[in-house]
Amino acid sequence: MALSPAIQECELLIKAFSGFGVDEQSMISLLTKLHPDQRQSFRKSCPRFFSHDDRLFEKWERDHIKQLEIEFSRFNKAVVLWTMHPWERDARFAYEIIHKDARFTYEIIHKGSPLSILIEIACTRSSEELLGARKAYHSLFKHSIEEDVAYDVKEDSRSLLVALVSSYRYEGLDVNTEIAKSEAKTLGKAIKEANGKKLVENEDVIRILSTRSKFQLMATFSHYKEIHGKDIDEDLEDDFLQATVQCIYSPPTYFSKVLEVALNNDVDEITKEALTRVIVTRADVDMKEIKEAYQKIYGIPLTEKIERETRGNFKDFLLALAAKGGY
């Protein structure tokens, strides 16, 4: 049985609003051609968006209005973030998650923990880039990042996060093999002797992860694997420590996992926002490596997944940024 024009139009509108962003051209083509009687028929045929009010009119559902406002804003937000200085961008990311809700308790890094953004900023930026973000934070908000993390974050990970955002790592290639072997044993002992204690609060673990150069830490992680037969993140039950190690050891793998979860309509809005954040912040850095890691892990090109899950100008903008990394 053929669908009525109003129901057909409703289904087309649902499709235009499905996924991330909005298919602006389809929406404009559909809505502008409807005269008042057709719009009324359309509203009655679209219970997904409208409900009948006792005062005899069809009203937008509040949650749907809020969601559409978010979807319409995705493109604008991506453009603003892309044109922003990277220092300011990181400072604003940090401020937003530190102050959005001082009472938050998020535990799963790859399922939307806002605190994972602090780890990304601290562990995937160069020392100069992190210092620049801290300078921008001073200028914009009249506080330091470490000051606000120490005061507002109520998690057990607070000491680790303060140490990470305060760090200024050596970036040379020199590695001290004896220190790497010694600290691999120190980490192994801390993990083995945790016995229910929170490893994220261990002073030696915090010191090693927040002060050593990335090349030094990679040597330490390599010796850890030689000693224990597996990667250190496999032995870390704490999500913040896992994220810290992954961001230091292999940012493309870490960001691939973040993107995979973000490209899922069933997750919360904080998690979805990671799609814009990762594409915008990594387009000029390691997008080629992220795309290679994504395809290796999930068996599908990242650009194909973005093409499938996003809509309109937002989709076109993300694809253009993703293309900057080649491949």
User: Residues marked as binding?
Assistant: 17, 19, 21, 71, 309-310
Amino acid at the residue 274: A
Q: Give which of 75, 21, 82 is closest to 280, Cα–Cα.
A: 82
Whole-angstrom distance, CA of residue 224 vs CA of residue 226: 5
Asked if 199 and 190 count as a contact pair (C-beta separation under 8 A), the reply is yes
Phi, psi of 301 (to 5 degrees): -65, 140
* Residue 311: partners with Cβ closer than 8 Å, 6 or more residues away: 16, 17, 18, 19, 20, 21, 22, 23, 71
Whole-angstrom distance, CA of residue 143 vs CA of residue 166: 13
Distance of CA 121 to the CA centre of its chain: 11
Question: Annotated binding site for Ca(2+): which residue ranges?
Answer: 17, 19, 21, 71, 309-310
Q: Distances from the Cα of 241 to the Cαs of 49, 85, 151, 238, 320, in angstroms?
A: 42, 29, 21, 5, 33
Whole-angstrom distance, CA of residue 53 vs CA of residue 151: 47
Find the DSSP H helices in the chain.
Answer: 5-17, 24-31, 36-44, 62-83, 86-99, 115-124, 127-141, 145-152, 158-166, 177-192, 203-211, 214-228, 232-235, 239-249, 251-262, 269-282, 287-298, 302-309, 312-323
CB atoms within 10 A of CB 126: 12
Q: Nearest 5 degrees, angle CA 298-CA 242-CA 309?
A: 30
Phi, psi of 265 (to 5 degrees): -70, -15
